[in-house]
Amino acid sequence: MTDAQGEKSAKKRQRGATSLPKRRANTWRNWSGGVTETAQLTAGPTSETAVRSLVIGAGGSGLRVKSVGAGHSFNDVAATEGLRLHFDDYRGLVSVNPETNVATFRAGTRMHEVQELLREHGLTLENQGDVVAPTIAGAISTGTHGTGLGYSGLSAMVKSLRMVLADGQVVLCDERTHSDIFEHARLGLGALGVILEVGIQCVPSFRVLVDESTGPVDDVLDTFADRARAADYFAFYWFPHSEQALVRSHRRLAEGEEPEGLTSRNAVKLMDEELVQYWTRGLAKSLGEIAPGMVSRLSQFTASLTGPRHYVEDSHGMFGAQRRIRFHALEYGVPFEDGPEVVREIRRRLEERRLRVSFPIEVRTAAADDVPLSPAYGRDTTYIAVHRYVREAHEEFFETVEEVLRAAGGRPHWGMLHTLRAEELREAYPRFDEFVELRDRLDPQRVFGNPYLERSLGE
């Protein structure tokens, strides 16, 4: 590793570390600060044997157990008042199969570490979420996804799982062995067992050409399906109160391909999304508090800031941004082709209710997958996410948007805020009952239960 690379990965490590939720004694809070809880006990096991004894011991004394990752879920899916298991000391690469490109990681490995470790093997993840601090076990457990109509979220990329079940049994499951557990535990909400290791499908490293521009949101919505199909990775951000959207599309480059007409590196840095998304959000935050009317003018100003940019990015660095401003988030997946109409309906409702929104609305895509609790199960999907600065009340805004998303047959992201309970989730997810039956069989005593699971899966 060169000095520059060393410095870069040290910075990345630091970035991951500073993104961790604060842990004081047994008090824990998630990244957004919206969830705070005090567990009776906390443990950071460093071996499979330790995890087994903790699960068996807790089960025997009626203490509920919850595995926690990096606390980046916006809701209480990872909360417990019983025994909290964290995996800060159980991370790293276990193995890489050079024939299949399947790499196996310990549960607590952060997503930025996953990419750094894969780089050494000439491998990368084909897709991932836009934040790199989460752990691999936490990220798959709530169905973390990125964008790209040809690509699935992380859970569908999982090839094997090593887990400790509620009775202390250790299982290695994949498509052939314990296939029922494997199928569901790829997105298991922490309800089916403690994940020790995740085997995930990787691909050779690649580079992408990134194109960014702003344009009228109506044009973007009219051409959404074609643009999403034409690009490898496609996303857009609509700035409410303005007619503008920021569009970002990535095309994977062939080996040796050197595109021309790139924006200078300095310009890329200067106009970085840091500027657009965070600096501006910071302004929106403070201005919004002082003078609500400023938010819409600010949104228009922001959207006009970004000129077209074209630059090449490495697959290890193309996903993931720093998040300086804390926010709450709600996200649903709707059928892919309905995406533009749903965004239009959200716009109509926001105008009707005169809601002031200081964060862009994020629209991404995903390929249909076969993971039972995935929002993209069995259908190509448009993901629509809304955000709210933590110090602003989010309830009315989220409720308005959620109403539209539900009416459109949307399925909520399990790690974001949503108000659905088991009976509504059963309607949204066609294989919901299968998941619940498996949970009942594997964990009849609800050793891995918590209030989120009681609401979402039933008691």
- Burial string for 241-268 (b: 16+ CB within 10 Å, else e) reads bbebbbbbbbbbbeeeeeeeeebeeeeb
Q: Which is nearer to ligand FAD, 137 or 294 (CB)?
A: 137
Alpha-carbon separation of residue 365 from 71, 375, 408 (angstroms): 24, 11, 16
| Dihedral of alpha carbons 87, 90, 91, 93, sign | negative
Q: Which is nearer to ligand FAD, 54 or 202 (CB)?
A: 54
Q: Which is nearer to ligand FAD, 191 or 294 (CB)?
A: 191
Closest by Cα among 350, 351, 354 to 384: 350
Cβ at position 294, least distance to ligand FAD in Å? 25
| Long-range CB contacts for residues 287-292, cutoff 8 Å, separation at least 24 | 288/356, 288/358, 288/389, 288/392, 289/391, 289/392, 292/356
Cβ at position 87, least distance to ligand FAD in Å? 5
Q: Which is nearer to ligand FAD, 79 or 221 (CB)?
A: 79
Task: Quickly count: other Cβ atoms within 10 Å of residue 68's Cβ.
Answer: 26
Q: Which is nearer to ligand FAD, 58 or 68 (CB)?
A: 68
CA distance 217 to 238: 7
Cβ at position 267, least distance to ligand FAD in Å? 25
Cβ at position 322, least distance to ligand FAD in Å? 9
Task: Quickly count: other Cβ atoms within 10 Å of residue 294's Cβ.
Answer: 18
Q: 17 Cβ partners below 8 Å, 6+ apart? A: none
Q: Which is nearer to ligand FAD, 138 or 294 (CB)?
A: 138
Q: Which is nearer to ligand FAD, 288 or 415 (CB)?
A: 415
Contacts with ligand FAD, residue ranges (CB under 6 A)? 31, 66-73, 77-78, 87, 107, 129-131, 134-135, 137-139, 141-142, 144-145, 189-190, 194-195, 323, 413, 415
Burial class (CB in 10 A: 0-12, 13-18, 19+), 226: exposed
Cβ at position 307, least distance to ligand FAD in Å? 25
Cβ at position 32, least distance to ligand FAD in Å? 6
Cβ at position 195, least distance to ligand FAD in Å? 3
